[in-house]
Structure 1
Amino acid sequence: MSLLPRSAGEFSSAEYWERFFSRRGDQAFEWYGGYTELCGVLHKYIKPQDEVLVVGCGNSELSEQLWDVGYKRLTNIDLSATAIANMQQRNRSRRPGLLFLRADATQTGMEAGRFRAALDKGTLDAMASEERGQDGEKPEDGKGGQAGRMLAEVGRVLCVGGRYVCVTLAQEHVLQLAVEHFAGEGWAVRVHCLGGQEAESDSSSFALPVFVLVCTKFRQPPPTPLLELCQGEDGPPCRLAAVAELLAAVRDCQAYALLRSRLRHNTDPTPCPALTLCHTPSGRARFTLNVVDCPPTVRPPRDHHFAIFIVPQGRESDWLYSSEEGRGQLALSAGFRRLVVVAMHRDQQYSDMQAVQSELSPMVMELAPPGMPTNQQVPFLSVGGGVGWRAVVHRGRSALSGELAVEDVRGEDGGLFRRLVFIDNEGVVQSESRLTEPGAPSLKKNKKKKPPAVPPKPGPAQVDRRFLCCAHHRVMVAGLALLCLGHAPLTDAPVSVLLVGLGGGGLPQFVRDWVPGARVEVVELDPVVLDVARDWFGLEPDERLSVMLGDGLEHINKLYSQGGHSYDVIMFDVDSKDPSLGMSCPPPAFVETPFLERVRDLLTPRGVFMLNLVCRDSVRREGVVARVRGLFPCVLSRDIEGEVNEVLLCLRGGDADTTPAPPSPPALRRAARTLQGVLGDKNQPSPPPSLDIAALLDNLHIA
């Protein structure tokens, strides 16, 4: 017959515990570990000379073990007469001074201020079950019911400087009750997260970690609440500002323990949630870990159980490391049963790869797959052998997008790049530009040399507007060749462009600089992004490039309502602020049929609508493409290799008798040569490095 209660409410009833201990007899029952697991933290806060009240002792051996190592002033109380009688009989001869008394923890009858410490192992958890009751509601008195009254009684019997030491699983309602009670009384509150009590061979053991709550009674309340969390029994305390922050930090510890338990018992190719490891003194994120298991059909070599892959700084947004598909491909190519992909965070210092390995080793070894031999050596893998390099040159905050960072990083070829990243979506680079370094050696001459891990400090760097770093921007520029299909060459007629979404300004400046006669209007919603583009990405508007602040939806609707406006090219390169939609670019309102009709009607007969589409939801993506196909007579698509992006190139067409058919390969090649000649015009000062327009258009397919 099971000894577990039938309902949570039973935990707080005297009848339940009477039945429980009657059935167990003399067999000790250890909630959340015994003396061996807890002695380190107990000795830290309770001294042998302290007078200690043990609340809800049950038939645990903990008090007996404490007595045996020198704790001679222990008073044990419990609600169960059976438990107290058994413990008195068990210790009468061997430990005559160890006191066991039947008493109610909510009203002990002890004198105020008598004890230096109160020790509670599982009793608060048991009593606080009544705090929620079977229907999940709080008790009517609003003070935590019996558990709240027990905490008040503990506070009464402890002297100033005394400590309530509570071993708990820290369910949120239990921890919140205790922390709010003692913090409200002006006590210091510290929580230690100990290792879970799960055994490798016993899947029925607790998978959750055990916590030790230590509340210290002050004579005068501190000016601000003292709330701290420690990892392990000796981990440095991390100060938290509010009860909600402490509860959130404990939830993170519990989530990690559950993840570790899941990974310890099986391998699973389904994606695991990302695990963030924080720097304890500051609480700031230091590493993000993604665990990738190979599918069961893949059989790595026998000794290839486990490996750690360190992503160099500045490369964490690469498709191979930032996407689920990319990490899966990386794991397959690495050839291990389990691969942990580790990304390093900005605003943290990493001296070298050896230091990173030493720091990570204790934590990542807890994520090893089941069945891995204990003496198995775990390799650390990386690209180039170094930790990479990153310098945050600007931080800001947008009311629309939250915190942002502008950072300089080294690319694979050793070149210097500048990026705009929104911290809430830091796996995505919003904008990227190549930088020039005065006095830097030519990249061609050093092509075969390995770039330094930490480059020499450059002089003032400038954005090189000849380069388009974003692959989808290069496709959009190549899409201008479609204007040449059956129409006048680009050099014979001006090209009017409307772009929604500025970013760093690289795309509109490239079109302005290298397409003769191009006039570009940009609509940007966020004034902070415009400031960043000007201050950090070299944006220079002029008579051929204008930027207006406003909502792209409203602007296009206004242009349509006014009439008299038309454009050869309309581009959407605007991100969604709601990543939960499964479509991060554009926002859904930009691809609704009525709005797309207005976009189509604003195009000239030769016009092209270009849409940067980033959608992981296949059903939503098909819906978007179907709506676009229903409005444009010819829709071509170009996937971006190694990324989720695809660019839709949609031809407006004229009247019914001039509706364009999908361009033939020869026609596309001729159009590509025309645009290539325009971009490579030797009469232009400092022409851009040649974009291979034909190659960019070669993989177009009908959407």
Structure 2
Amino acid sequence: MGSGIEPAALERLSPSRFLSFSFPNPRPGPGPGPGPGPYGDPLRVAVLDSPLPLPPCPPPATAAMIVPLGREHDWIFSTPAGHLQLLLSSSPLSRLVLIGDPPSPFPQPYSRPGTNPDRDSLLRFQQSLLPLLLALSPRAAFRHGIPEIPFLSFEDEVLSGVPVEALAGPAVGQMLVEDVEIDQSPAPPERRRRLRFRRKPNLVQTQVRLLPHSLKVGMFRPETGSLVQPYLGPMVAGLSLIAPSIGERVRSGLMPRALCVGVGGGALLMCLRSKLGFDVLGVEADDVVLNVARRHFGLVEDELLRVCVGDGIRLIESFAREGTTACCGLEDGQVLDRVGGAGIEKLGDPSSGFDAIMVDLDSGDAMSGISAPPLEFVRKDVLWAARSVLNDHGILVVNVIPPDGSFHKGLVDAVCEVFAELYELDVGNGENYVLVASTSPVEAAASETADSFSEKLNQVVDERYISGIKKI
């Protein structure tokens, strides 16, 4: 093959095997007309075998993907983790082959090529790659003749992107803050700031809108508390189930309280604090992520919004076990040292319980693909601990990305055994849904009980999310 890779090495599938090598471009480019193709010479070729067991019949399937021009440097296309998530997000495949130009130094700005690039040139380029793709297919794929090798496409809504800062944290590893323009056709593009982790490069961890800076011409600032992330609005909509209880609490002169497990950029916390009047405690596993939230996403701490560094599951278990915020289940006083705002001594007495626990945690295991929450959170002892630190009308709200049907069923069954009632809301993006578990039966709110909290909630989230909540 002229690349140092023996063809016989790829005749058999090897779970999770990843190979990357250079290969001469059969149609080097760029160039006009029917000759050269859109990619240079040499090409970067990456081959990944699925980590998942596949049935012996039908024959194993191989697919190819052409890396979009200008995206070679992106983690999605230049790292094994990105390749793995592309493979797992496609229909059952045994092998995925990515072909494109060699990656540029990371990070690099990106601008999508103009609408309708030279389609004929791309098709000719794909046709010229078929002999290579057949040589890279496992022997078993030829069981019934020459296999068809489809070309998968990658489409997202990003028109352009500019890296803001690339850095690394002790818990999540390498991360990237980037400003992007999002295609909102037929509306004008929208500027957003996003955070992504290298371990899950296809997953946007958090994003906020960018608004023109009032004092600096040509500069932009993050919109405080904006619920741009698709599942955040539905998560907040879950509060509608306990709106009467929260309204009664407010009328009694008490503030509703929320524990946010997973902070990210802090948009959810800022919304609960500034728009809904909550007393908010957030826990984040990585202090670098918290600093990113403060510097790049508009997170501002005060006496009613505090954040700490630690394991959110251990924090819940500590609250349940000790009945006091003096112990947060961390070693060497980490929480005491890293709680912002008024300090740990003013976090409040958990004996009164939280009104809501909001869980936004994804699995840290790249081999599981994009999934949430982590399996550890589904343990019954953790769920019982969460229930014990909620008040009599409290709710547990969880962002869920199920990798498969068995995960969904197992999560639903586990939550139903612990909580009084369970509700579900489909986010509508084909990926996320939100589970809302209540400690006691939810009472329908009569229209005459409408109060200031319900009015605030209706201003923050779309009515379709509230009306879309279904009891399981």
Aligned counterpart, 2:322: 562
Contact 1:277–1:286 (CA under 8 A) maintained in structure 2: no
8 Å CA contact 1:583, 1:617 repeated in 2: no
**Contact kept? 2:424, 2:434, Cα under 8 Å:** yes
Q: Is the CA contact 1:497–1:568 (under 8 Å) kept in the aligned structure 2? A: yes
1:217-265 deviation per Cα after TM superposition (whole angstroms, max 9, x unaligned): xxxxxxxxxxx975228999xxxxxxxxxxxxx9x85849x99xxxxxx
Contact 2:387 2:439 in 1 (8 A): yes
TM superposition shift of 1:610:
0.8
User: 1: CA distance between counterparts of 2:217 and 2:201?
Assistant: 25
Match of 2:470 in 1: 701
1:50-199 matches, within 5 Å, as 169=6, 171=8
Per the alignment, residue 612 of structure 1 pairs with 399
Which one-letter code corresponds to 1:691 in the other structure?
A: V
Counterpart residue identity of residue 592, structure 1? R
Structure 1 residues 511 and 270 mapped into 2: Cα distance closer, same or farther (>3 Å)?
farther
Q: Which of 407, 410, 417 is the aligned partner of 2:178? A: 407
Give the Cα separation in 1 of the matches to 2:418 and 2:284.
25
Q: Distance in 2 between matches of 1:323 and 1:233?
A: 28
Q: Which residue, out of 354, 359, 366, partners 1:579? A: 366
Is 1:416 matched up with 2:191?
yes
User: Cα–Cα, structure 1 residues 475 and 490, in superposed 2: closer, same or farther, change >3 Å?
Assistant: farther
Take 2:125 and 2:75, find their aligned partners in 1: how far apart are those partners?
A: 13
1:285-305 CA-partner distances (Å, limit 9, x unpaired) = 69959xxxxxxxxxxxxxxxx
**For residue 606 of structure 1, what is the amino acid of its counterpart?**
H
Count of aligned residue pairs for this structure pair: 378
Cα distance in 2 between the residues matched to 1:277 and 1:425 = 18
Between the aligned partners of 2:182 and 2:112, the Cα distance in structure 1 is: 19
Q: Deviation string for 1:155-210 (max 9, x for gaps)?
A: xxxxxxxxxxx9984656xxxxxxxxxxxxxxxxxxxxxxxxxxxxxxxxx999xx
Separation in structure 2 between the aligned mates of residue 678 and residue 637 of structure 1, nearest angstrom: 22
AA of the residue aligned to 1:505: G
* Equivalent residue, structure 2, for 1:437: 212
Q: Which of 221, 231, 242 lines up with 2:23 in the alignment?
A: 231
2:113 is matched with: 352
CA distance in 1, matches of 2:449, 2:434: 18
**1:691 Cα deviation from its structure 2 partner:** 2.6
The answer for the alignment partner of 2:163 in structure 1 is 392
Q: CA deviation at 1:506?
A: 0.2
Q: Secondary structure at the match of 1:584?
A: coil
Q: Taking every aligned residue pair, what percent have the same amino acid on both sides?
A: 25
In structure 2, the partner of 1:530 is 290
Whether the aligned pair in 1 keeps the contact of 2:238 and 2:469 (CA below 8 Å) is no
SS at match of 2:316: helix
Query: Quick one: structure 1 residues 277 and 630, their matched pair in 2 at CA, closer, same or farther if it must change by over 3 Å?
Result: same
Q: In structure 2, which of residues 266, 271, 274 is the aligned counterpart of residue 510 of structure 1?
A: 271
Which one has a bigger Cα radius of gyration?
Answer: 1
Secondary structure of the corresponding residue to residue 234 of structure 2: helix
What is the identity, as a one-letter code, of the residue corresponding to 1:605?
Answer: D
Shift of 1:643: 3.1
Note if 1:678 corresponds to 2:456. yes
In the superposition, relative to structure 1, how do residues 270 and 471 fare at CA in structure 2: closer, same or farther (>3 Å)? farther
Q: Which moved more, 1:529-538 or 1:268-277?
A: 268-277
In structure 2, the residue matched to 1:551 is 311
Aligned residue among 256, 262, 271 for 1:501? 262
Secondary structure class of the residue paired with 2:302: coil
Shift of residue 541, structure 1, vs aligned partner: 0.6
Unaligned runs of 5+ in 1: 1-31, 33-40, 42-165, 173-205, 209-227, 237-249, 260-267, 290-315, 328-339, 371-380, 441-456, 654-659, 681-688
Consecutive unaligned residues in structure 2, runs of 5 or more: 13-19, 29-41, 51-57, 93-97, 135-152, 325-349
Measured after TM superposition, the shift of residue 585 of structure 1 is 1.3
Per-residue Cα deviation, 1:477-506 (whole angstroms, up to 9, x for no partner): 122222234664463231011111001000
- Structure 1 residues 534, 286: CA separation in 2 closer, same or farther (over 3 Å shift)? closer
What displacement does 1:677 show? 1.2
Corresponding residue number in structure 1 for 2:380: 593
1:652 CA drift (Å): 0.8
- Equivalent-residue separation in structure 2 for 1:560 and 1:283 (angstroms): 48
Question: Shift of the alpha carbon at 1:460?
Answer: 2.3
Match for residue 330 of structure 1?
A: none
Matched, 1:520 2:280: yes
- AA at the equivalent of 1:459: G
Q: Distance in 2 between matches of 1:547 and 1:462?
A: 22
What is the CA–CA distance in structure 1 between the aligned matches of 2:128 and 2:231, rounded to whole Å?
Answer: 40
| Superposition deviation, residue 392 in structure 1 | 1.1
TM-score under structure 2 length normalisation: 0.66
Selected match of 1:477 from 232, 236, 242:
236
Give, in angstroms, the shift of residue 671 of structure 1: 7.3
CA distance in 1, matches of 2:261, 2:366: 19
Question: Which one of 461, 465, 472 corresponds to residue 691 of structure 1?
Answer: 461
Work out the CA distance in 2 between the residues paired with 1:341 and 1:430.
27
Q: Per the alignment, do residues 399 and 626 of structure 1 end up closer, same or farther by CA in structure 2, a change over 3 Å counting?
A: same
Change (3 A) 1:279 1:388: closer
Whole-angstrom CA distance in 1 between matches of 2:371 and 2:448: 34
Match of 1:643 among 391, 410, 430: 430
Distance 1:168 1:515 in 2: 59
Higher relative contact order (CA 8 A, sep 6+): 2
The CA distance in 2 between the partners of 1:168 and 1:623, in whole Å, is 43
- RMSD of Structure 2 on Structure 1 (CA): 4.8
Q: Do the aligned residues in 1 keep the contact of 2:194 with 2:207 (CA within 8 Å)? A: yes
Name the CA distance, whole Å, in 2 between partners of 1:437 and 1:279. 30
SS in 2 for 1:609: strand
Matched, 1:426 2:209: no
